[in-house]
Structure 1
Amino acid sequence: MIAIGNFFFKYRNFLFIFLYLALFIPSPKVFRPEALGTAYYLWPIVLGLLITVSGQLIRGLTIGLAYIVRGGRDKKVYADKLVTEGVFNHCRNPLYVGNILMLLGVGILSNSLLFLAVFMPLFLFIYQAIVLAEENFLRKKFGADFSAYCSRVNRWLIKFNGLGQTMKSMRFNAKRWVLKEYNTQYVWLAGIVLLLLLNYPEVTRGDTGLRNTLLTVALVVVTALYLFVRYLKKSGKMVD
C-alpha cells in the first residue's frame, strides 16, 4: 500500500481532473422520479450541496488556521515540520477529509450511480494508500513525536470536542485561505454550476435558452473572480 501511495502521490493532481470528468459520464441515476416523485431532483441537489459545501468549509477552516504543505518535494512525500495545531489537533488529515466530502457531494449532485459506486471507492482506496505513504515518511522523520500524535488524534474522523476553543485561540487567516484555495474553488464552483444546469432541466423549467444564459453568466462570473484573485496573487498585491 505504501508503494501504491507513493505512486499516486506523484499524480494526485491529475487524479482530480480525471474524477471531475467522470462526473459527466452517462450513468443510471441514484435518485429517480419513479421512486421519489416529480420533485426527485431536490434530493441530490440539497444533499449534494450540503455535503460538498461542508467539505469546502473544513478545508477553508484548516488552511485558515494552520496551513500544511502537501505538495511534497520532487514529486515525493516531504515535510519540514510536524504540524499538529489548528484542525490538525482534531484530525490528522482534515484537508483530505474535506476533499472526500467535496467529491462525494458533487458525486451525489451528479446523481450518478457509476460515480458513487465505482469512482468514489477507487478514490477512497487511493487516498488511503497516499495517507499510509505519508505516515510512513512522517514516522521515519519525526519518530516518537509522530507516534504520540497518532495515538491521540484520529486519522480520518474529526474530533469536534474542543474545536471551538481551538478556533478561539488562533487567528483565522482569510487571505491565506483565498490564495491557497482559489484554484480549487474555481474548479469546484464551475463543476457545481455545470452539474446543476446541465443535469437538471427542472431548475429552469426546461427552458434551454434560460439555462444557457444562466450557465454562461455563472461561468463568466466565477472565471472573472478566479482571474482577479490570480492577478492579486501574481502581482504581489495580496499576500498571506
Structure 2
Amino acid sequence: MAERTGWQKVAKRIRVPMGFVFAAVFLWLARPTGKTLGLSLLPVLAGLWLRGYAAGYVRKNAELTTTGPYAHTRNPLYLGSMLIAFGFAGAAASWWILGSLALLFAAIYIPTIQGEEGYLRAHFANFDEYAAKVPRLLPRLTPAPTTAERGSFSRKLYLHHREYNASMGAGAIYFALVIRLLWEKHAFIAGVAGPR
C-alpha cells in the first residue's frame, strides 16, 4: 500500500474543517450584487450536477471507476467542488476571496489527489493505463475508450454518498448571500435617508 506523506495526510484531514472556516470568512468578506449572484449560478449548478452525477457512479475503494464522468476526468468530484467554489467566489465579488480560494485549493487538493492516486495505483493494477487516457482534472471532451463494462448512474449510490448535502449547502450559502445583499442595500438606503 502506498503511504501518504505527512502533508497529504494533513490536507486530507483538514479539507472539510477548512471549508467551514473559509465559508465563514467568505460570508464576512462577500459583497454580492444581483448580477454576480445571477452569473454565479452557471458554475455552481454545473458543479452540483457534476458532483451528483459522479456520486452515482463511484464505488469508493471497491473498484476503479472508469465510466460516466470518470471517462472524462479522474476527479469529477473535485472538479465539481472547484466549479461550485469559484462560482461562489464570483458571487462574492471579492478578489481576496478568489485569490485565497485558489491558494487553498492548491494547498489542500493537490496533495489529496496525489495521495488518492497513490492508493489507487497500489490497489488497482489498471490505474496507470486509465491515468494515461484520462486527465487528472480538466476533462477531455470525449469519453476515454475502456474495456470496462459500461456503467450507469445509480440513484442508490448517489443517496449512499449523501451528495444531496452539497445542494443543501449551496442553497444555504445563496440564502446567506441574499441576506447579505439585502442587508447592504438596507444599510445604504438607511444611510442615504438618515436623519436630517
Q: TM-score, normalised by structure 2?
A: 0.78
**Residue 46 (structure 1) aligns with:** 38
- Aligned match of 2:16 in 13, 36, 39? 13
Q: What is the deviation of 1:156?
A: 0.5
Please tell me whether residue 152 in structure 1 is matched to residue 155 in structure 2.
no
Indicate which of 181, 187, 192 corresponds to 1:199: 181
Q: Indicate the structure whose relative CO is greater, using CA pairs within 8 Å and at least 6 residues apart.
A: 2
| DSSP-derived class of the 2:28 partner | coil
Deviates more, 1:103-112 or 1:114-123: 114-123
Listed as ranges, the gaps of 5+ residues in structure 1 are 32-40, 70-78, 164-168, 209-240
Q: How many Å apart are 1:68 and its aligned residue? A: 3.5
Pair 1:63-2:18 in alignment: no
Matched pairs, number: 181
Q: What percent of counterpart residues are identical? A: 24
Structure 2 residue matching 1:24: 3-state secondary structure:
helix
TM-score by length of 1: 0.65
Cα shift at 1:176:
4.0
**Matched-pair contact (CA < 8 Å) for 2:68–2:153:** no
Say whether 1:129 aligns with 2:121. no
Write the distance in 1 (CA, Å) between the matches of 2:153 and 2:124. 27
Structure 1 residue 51, shift from structure 2 partner? 1.1
Flag the 1:92–1:162 CA change in 2: closer, same or farther, 3 A: closer
Which residue is 2:72 aligned to? 90
* CA shift in 2, pair 1:197/1:116, >3 Å: same
What does the per-residue CA deviation read over 1:119-156, in whole Å, with 9 as the maximum and x for residues that have no partner?
Answer: 3322233101100111122222224x111011000000
Are 2:25 and 1:22 equivalent residues in the alignment?
yes
List gaps (5 residues or longer) in structure 2. Answer: 145-149, 191-196
Give 1:224-239 correspondences, 5 Å limit: none
Letter in 2 for 1:121: L
Residues 44-88 of structure 1 show CA distances to partners (whole Å, capped at 9, x for unaligned) of 222211111111111112123x1243xxxxxxxxx2322212211
- Displacement after TM superposition at 1:174 (Å): 3.7
CA contact (8 A) 1:2 1:130 kept: no
